[in-house]
Amino acid sequence: MAEFRVTFGQRYRNEPHPLGWPHPDGWLSVIADNYDIARGVTEGLLKSRFAFMYSEGDYGFPTEDAYPMGELMKLVITTESAQLTEPETQDE
């Protein structure tokens, strides 16, 4: 399985996203077998309400240096299901 990261446009800095949690300072992690599956399920969930989807190794792949809120949610897609969850928090 591969990780893809989805970012959200600056529009959602001042305007609430219809789902509530997306923000331009973070990303949605999508875990799937390949880009086509990840993209298809993401588009089904978010419609056109996201900016970009990056594969690992892509120029601009989101990191906390550029997206200080980090991972906002995680979408894990398997052949049996798709599950959207909040990220695990690390104890400080």
pLDDT of residue 80: 74
Confidence band (pLDDT; 50, 70, 90) for 66? very high
pLDDT of residue 91: 59
Q: Residues of 33-45 as b/e, b for ≥16 C-beta within 10 angstroms?
A: eeeebbeebbeeb
Q: What are phi and psi of 85, to 5 degrees?
A: -135, 160
The model carries a pTM of 0.84
pLDDT tens-digit readout, 10-64: 999 999 999 989 999 999 999 999 999 999 999 999 998 999 999 999 999 999 9
Sequence spans of domains, the chain:
2-85
